[in-house]
A and B are shown apart, each in its own frame.
Chain A
């Protein structure tokens, strides 16, 4: 138990409780919005508390704010309600809080089934928070699955275009991965020597999963891997992402790109690297190969996209490839692994969350006002919407890795780490930054710059509610870009035990 009471439980379940309150008491759309905003605001404060109160001193516990209650036990097997954060998950909790409030604000103009929309958003936030904080495999899996429902609803009800198809595609893809993960979890369950779902114990040095597992450890590794690779997503299981993004409403896109994808990267780090260090090191080259392919393939496909949202979605495939590449940096280092690659991967999770969140927010605003996302139809928007265009420009420059903005830090760390182990593949992946410059600047040029068009004469810039999340994210992007130690030091604390295990230490 933490010194401030059940902080994590409060952070995780406050949105869900808020959703119940809205269901029961909120009468008008207006009060629904106010309630949702208030809940998200309090949750943001709570998540920032988790982040800032996380004890960074030497000798502090690895997992903090731990809350544990026995849930059920079968024979010797105990499942428990176990929450806690370490240096890896604390920043991601903060990220979820941050994007949560952005999503709420981005939904301000929704006028169809308002109450449901906000309820699903809040439930979504609870489930993602749950994934990042639960330290019991079963609980982790429950939250992982819970997240599907609200996202499915958000896309299929408030989406556009082929929304049912996209929502179903998203659902089936993720469920396919979950099926593999469930098998792996059952295998853990059926192995008496392990006898625990406790992820703290499972990820301790020397791997708890060493002896007498029902099926080979490598296959467990791959089953978890498939689940997380789909979520990330990596090539070639990425095709759900462009569809889901394109058809999702703005708030859902923000959450999807901002935090849902990050669950995949988090799972890879926490479970694949944390619990199967030997296998992770052995198969790191697969991760590197997939990473490099995703980076380049995603970037090449992005160049030809004409829909703003689809373009950002494909660029996400490219950028998530960097996460793979960073994690792949643990290969062939022979006990001399530095944390650069893993830290870069973790940083990329956070920075991509804020950058892409901002891109989707700005795109949403443009779509609401100009009623098109088709790039050739836009053009000259910057003249009418300077705030939105500036935010978009900053996010775009961050996305192409401009120093001083957050994207650069994670990119460079990933390259540093990966280059030590795999110089040639990494050099190939660096080419991605040229392609990124190409597609981002081409998009800026065609959609934003130029003489404002006649029919955009009455476009209005972002108002206060719309600008607030933009400003929030711009501050985060610039802040991390200028002073990355804010995050790198915390991630480092979380990654350091893993690296010690990987380097063969105790």
Chain B
């Protein structure tokens, strides 16, 4: 496992190669990126098997040892690091050592699997989708960099390296969302994504600085140890956790930082698939999961996480219900599911969150690739103009439906199991209000998924869409593979006979938290999902057009939801009315007060005094003589008064 660092490095190496040499290579060098990520996927399996065989005697691997009892607990964690540079002389006691280090524990391993697999699928799919684009090579170069950054992020063993890759992920998403920068909307969206997430990053950076100040190291294990043995008090832990969570809110599009994600669909659709499923947005959830010991130390921080998560999930699932753009529906669905993951983390459902992250990742990648296939052949994004596509795009319809049903929580598909685990965590650790609202969200998420599935693919096929064709093989194969996972991934959760202890067992390892299933909760969730899809069928297949068209602008409530609760407007107002006017004011202040008054003022005074004095420098002997006489007289008078 010591060589697991190769996984990101291969993709890192591919990126500059494609930029420099891509134009001379077949396929503009795209195969380099695909080879690198495919090798990464292969290495993931090696890492997995290495990790399953490893134990505490393996080099670099250890479990947490309790100080009092001497017992080992927690998952096996393997850490390997190299020095990057010192702030301070090497060896000096007070110098800060900054390292490149990798940390492999179960969460890292499963994330490696998700990222390499989805990135590989998306890159293969893009061969067909991006064919003929003038910046084909550049696209693959940034893709490689994107995957490499995300892989570094999940491998990082210290907060600084995590922050480094975190920012690189942000920069790559900026470049990819703004890939078609000729379109103003794409430019806007790219900038918005970067700036909004950066607001969260400020919190995260301050949180990292705070941890460093308290712990004296960037290493996560050191920070966790300090939390465990009480070197960091609860107040500091709360502050650090909430600051880190700010960063996670930005990246994982939690309210009120969610505004960038729906706009981010301006990028090419495969990019959306990558951003929504495997890179970028899951980084926030991953961060909270990774820094979980710090969050666990503070009950109030976890409560905040749960509330923000629930609020986000609820808000965005209502918006998803009324959006008319296929990709936007999927985007709000992503926000809603990210909210559920956060809620789960906030309800001590660590395993459930990670599990849902993966299940959602496969299903959402599938849905976006399916949507991409639709857009690719129909060049249409508005669901109101679609319908009956199942007749012309059978494969896309099947895989899209699998993804939708899975995320909607229909039993035996993977989304059902993971959603159920979340409900379980919420019911056990949070009060009944949380549970009811979570169930409402689950219902809504099934309903909007039904809508996203029924409206475009079922019902009447418009005449102008009769010519469209299904996806070419390079796009079809990745979708099919993802569909298999969207169906079957959930079975990993069971307690299989034999050594395997289920997903929870793997992630928690030493304290087996095997698969649990509450019958009444499961029953409610099944009923809700099935009812939602049934309602969807009635609403959207019987008169999909009518219900979609007539709804617009009916009631105030619907209007508010359709306007996305005016959150974008609030941002715009804040920027226009507060930030820019404040900037104008300061700019004016800088010119008028600091420059003109304080700088030019004295300069002008000197000049005017000079001009005034110049009048008296006449150069005529008689005026000087007059001055002398007058002066002498004045002195004489004063003398006479003072002395006399």
Chain A residues close to B by CB (< 8 Å): 169, 172, 236, 238-240, 297, 300-301, 303-305, 336-340, 343-344, 380, 382-383, 397, 401-404, 408, 412-413, 415-416, 419-420, 423, 426-427, 430-431, 433-434, 437-438, 441-442, 445, 449-451, 483-485, 488-489, 492-493, 496
Contacts and interface: CB of A to CB of B under 8 A. Distances in A.
B590 A239 contact: yes
16 contacts: A301-B586, A303-B583, A304-B587, A337-B94, A340-B87, A340-B88, A344-B87, A382-B181, A401-B167, A408-B164, A413-B87, A434-B201, A441-B194, A449-B187, A450-B187, A485-B84
B89 A433 contact: no
Contacts of A433: 198, 201-202, 205
Interface string B114-148: 00000000000000000000000000000000000
Given A236-B598, A340-B88, A441-B194, A403 B586 contact: no
A288 to B, nearest CB: 15
A441 B181 CA distance: 13
B526 interface: no
Contacts of B598: 236
Contacts of A441: 174, 190-191, 194-195
Nearest to A403: B164
Contacts of B202: 430-431, 433-434
Interface residues of B, number: 51
A492 B88 contact: yes
B178 interface: yes
A343 B96 CA distance: 11
Contacts of B184: 450
Interface stretch (B208-216, B358-366, B542-550): B208-216
A451 B163 CA distance: 34
B45 interface: no
A162 to B, nearest CB: 12
B195 A434 contact: yes
A12 to B, nearest CB: 29
A445 B598 CA distance: 35
B603 to A, nearest CB: 7
Nearest to B590: A301
Contact of B89 (A397, A412, A415, A493): A493
Contacts of B209: 415-416, 419, 423, 426-427, 430
Given A300-B582, A404-B164, A430-B202, 11 more contacts: A236-B594, A236-B598, A301-B587, A338-B96, A339-B89, A340-B87, A404-B168, A416-B96, A426-B209, A427-B209, A489-B90
Contacts of B187: 445, 449-450
Given A239-B599, A338-B96, A339-B95, A304 B594 contact: no
Nearest to A338: B94
B195 A492 contact: no
A338 B93 CA distance: 9
Contacts of B586: 297, 300-301
A402 B171 contact: yes
B72 to A, nearest CB: 34
Contact of A343 (B87, B160, B168): B87
Contacts of B594: 236, 238-239
Contact of B194 (A236, A413, A437, A451): A437
Contact of B210 (A403, A423, A438, A442): A423
A496 B594 CA distance: 38
Contact of A403 (B168, B178, B590): B168
A488 B87 contact: yes
Contacts, number: 140
Contacts of A483: 85
B595 A239 contact: yes
B584 A304 contact: yes
Given A420-B213, A485-B86, A402 B191 contact: no
A442 B171 CA distance: 14
A397 B171 contact: yes
Contacts of B582: 300
A477 B587 CA distance: 30
B87 A416 contact: yes
Contacts of A236: 594, 598
A336 B88 CA distance: 13
Contacts of A344: 87
Contacts of B95: 338-339, 492
B195 A438 contact: yes
Contact of A434 (B164, B198, B212, B580): B198
B68 interface: no
Q: Would you list the 5 A-B pairs with minimal beta carbon distance, nearest first?
A: A485-B85, A403-B164, A449-B181, A419-B209, A239-B595
Contact of B195 (A419, A423, A437): A437
B61 interface: no
A172 B90 CA distance: 44
Nearest to B200: A434
Contacts of B160: 412
A98 to B, nearest CB: 21
B54 interface: no
B182 interface: yes
A301 B589 CA distance: 9
A248 to B, nearest CB: 17
B87 A338 contact: yes
A336 B190 CA distance: 43
Given A339-B95, A434-B199, A441-B191, A489 B167 contact: no
A498 to B, nearest CB: 13
